[in-house]
Amino acid sequence: MSDYKTIHGVNVRDYTADPDNPIIGQVWYDKTAAALQFQFPSVTTAGAWRTGGIMNTGRVELAGAGTQTAGLMFGGHDSTAVTGKTESYNGAIFSEVADLNTARNGLGGAGASNTSALAFGGGAPADNSVADVTELYNGTNWTELNDMNTARHFSGDAGNATAALVVSGDTGSLSVNVESWNGTNWTEIANVNVAREFGASNGTTTSSLFYGGSPGSGSVANNESWNGTSWTEVADLNAGRYNWKGIGASNTDALAASGYTGTANSALVELWNGSTWAETTNVSDDGNGFASSGSTALGLIAGGNGRANNNVSEEWTGAGATVFAWSTGGSMNTARNLNSRAGIYTSALTFGGGNSAHTEKYNGTAWTELNNLNLARNSISGFGASGDSAIAAGGYASEAKAETELWNGTNWTEVNNLNRATSAATGIGIATSGLAAGRADPSVTAQTETWNGTNWTNVNDMNTSRSGGGGAGPNNTDGLVYGGYTVTSNTELWNGTNWSEVNNMNTGRASLSSAGNSSTAALGFGGGSSVAITEDWNGASWSEVGDLNTGRTQGNGTGTSTNALAFGGEIPPNTGATEEWDSGISTKTVDTD
């Protein structure tokens, strides 16, 4: 029998505490605890919902297809009539694409992505008529294909664009009929046991589930499993609901979210494991008549009746998602506040601050002092791709400054000035393509300038004046600014021409730190009265995540939304403390009983 050394190449070592840098999965003997231990990534034990993007056209009783980050929502009923509008979702933003040829609500949908989907059935309006129309979306246009054998609306739906199911529903009366699509034609297959409308389905043509619905009045909790040959009644939902869509890959994997009980909307969410339904985290905004896409790991619901707005969406992340956390890193050599930033997690730069010209570089472990700025100042707009390439623009030294300096990894060189003296502007981008947004002195403004590697250009202002805001983005055509003075939670997105307001932070604050090289994935942390709050931006909404170990304000940060640094600032007093944002690690004791 092989032993640990034979398998891993080393003996099990003993320690009085956790090893300094253990490898994931490494086993050691803890002499203090008198036990074998190992470390593994921390993950969530339950799923969670967060706000997703906003559809351009609010509606109800629409259909969906695809995934959470490549979804398609189509059809439905807006505030006045049925619609054929179709919107594609990239995980952050809904974009209008080609309309269905036949506008309708109460339709079915199936598809693997936002470039491959099937729409079938429904009505115009579905409350008064039924349709047998089938359409295929290829990423550009909808094309009519062969009709279903039986027209219907408010049916269950499952599968993809070449292999789909339409289950039960209303054909003029409640029907047990089920049809299977093979990419060309619909074929009648084995019936369900209980006829109902507004039921939910998920899965494939050989492994599907059909649950909930209404037998004409009220709701039922019935649940039926399809194995490719026949339908079998299995364990009921904990609570009957209807007018919803299902999420899941098979008859052993499903998510049943929200819906209407017959008397009220429900926020209840249930997970199916192949044998039983278990209640899990509720939706934030209950409703019915929404579309769905994705999986039980990463799901999406959009639109619907009874919600705060019928254009909203919510994103589901199932249990087992990585938990990120802050841990202690190497301290700066010179403690200071109002310091600036550039770079990434393993190659970061901080400069200025505390009325100094100090420059320090972080290598993932420790900070090293390098050559100073030419002009000592604080509140600099800083940006850059690494610790070897950065821009320091503006700042404050008895007054706002317009000076700009370029860092080449060794020295700072003066380059062309900002057009306007600026301090505490938010810096975004890299040394050849950047952005400075906002200003503190002599007054707080919404001004914006872009940098092309040679010159600064005045461009359109933000909608909200601010200074000391957080920022993220890759270059001068794509950026995100959030928070700042005067204590705003406002978030704005830059597209290279204009700023547009998007969803606010949960906690408004000034002088916060930030990280993110994308306008769709960012962090905001600290700020205000030295708070520890950290928020994560997914391109659509902010969500509170793990706090800093030490709250601080007027510090800075850099990196990405999954590998970030927080450094410097004021607790008070001023600090050089550094924290690293990464996937959390848990220690587990091996059970030897």
How would you list the strands of the sheet with 470-475, edge to edge? Answer: 470-475, 478-482, 491-494, 499-502
Residue 427 in tokens: 């810096």
pLDDT digits (tens, 9 = 90+) for 216-229: 999 999 999 999 99
Residue 47 in tokens: 């799923």
For residue 593, what pLDDT is reported?
55
For residue 10, what pLDDT is reported?
65
Tokens 């810096």 belong to residue: 427
**Are the C-beta atoms of residues 186 and 180 closer than 8 Å to each other?**
yes
**Ranges in the chain annotated CATH 2.120.10.80:** 48-317, 324-582
For residue 590, what pLDDT is reported?
66
How would you list the strands of the sheet with 521-525, edge to edge? Answer: 513-518, 521-525, 534-537, 542-545
Cis preceding linkage at 22, omega within 30: no
Q: How far apart are CA 264 and CA 258, in angstroms?
A: 10
Instruction: Give the DSSP H/E element, type plus range, for residue 4.
Output: helix 4-8
Q: How far apart are CA 559 and CA 388, in angstroms?
A: 14
Q: How far apart are CA 69 and CA 290, in angstroms?
A: 17
Average pLDDT over residues 406-423: 98
In this prediction, what percent of the chain has a pLDDT beyond 70?
Answer: 94
Q: How far apart are CA 78 and CA 61, in angstroms?
A: 9
Average pLDDT over the chain reads 94
What CATH number should be reported for the domain whose range is 324-582?
2.120.10.80
Tokens 């944002």 belong to residue: 581
145 pLDDT higher than 70 = yes
How would you list the strands of the sheet with 156-159, edge to edge? Answer: 156-159, 164-167, 178-181, 186-189
Closest CA to 112 of 143, 68, 153: 68
Average pLDDT over residues 385-394: 98
3 pLDDT higher than 70 = no
For residue 42, what pLDDT is reported?
79
Average pLDDT over residues 180-185: 98
25 pLDDT higher than 70 = no
Q: How far apart are CA 402 and CA 399, in angstroms?
A: 10
Closest CA to 431 of 467, 460, 388: 388
For residue 359, what pLDDT is reported?
98
Tokens 């351009």 belong to residue: 56
pLDDT digits (tens, 9 = 90+) for 439-472: 998 899 999 999 999 999 999 999 999 999 999 9
Average pLDDT over residues 322-346: 96
For residue 43, what pLDDT is reported?
83
How would you list the strands of the sheet with 347-351, edge to edge? Answer: 340-344, 347-351, 359-362, 367-370
Q: Is 216 helix (H, G, I), strand (E, B) or coil?
A: coil
Instruction: With cut-offs at 50, 70 and 90, classify the pLDDT of residue 178.
Output: very high
Average pLDDT over residues 480-500: 96
Beta strand pairing call for 13-15 and 27-30:
parallel
Instruction: With cut-offs at 50, 70 and 90, classify the pLDDT of residue 584.
Output: confident
408 pLDDT higher than 90 = yes
In this prediction, what percent of the chain has a pLDDT beyond 90?
Answer: 88
Select the CATH number that applies to the domain covering 48-317 from these four: 3.30.565.10, 2.40.100.10, 2.120.10.80, 2.60.40.60.
Answer: 2.120.10.80
pLDDT digits (tens, 9 = 90+) for 4-20: 566 666 677 777 766 66
Residue 209 in tokens: 């589930």
Question: Residue 434 corresponds to which amino acid?
Answer: G
For residue 586, what pLDDT is reported?
61
- Left if phi > 0, otherwise alpha if psi is -120 to 50, otherwise beta: which for 273? alpha
31 pLDDT higher than 80 = no
Residue 135 β-bridge partners? 119, 144
For residue 14, what pLDDT is reported?
73
Q: How far apart are CA 38 and CA 27, in angstroms?
A: 5
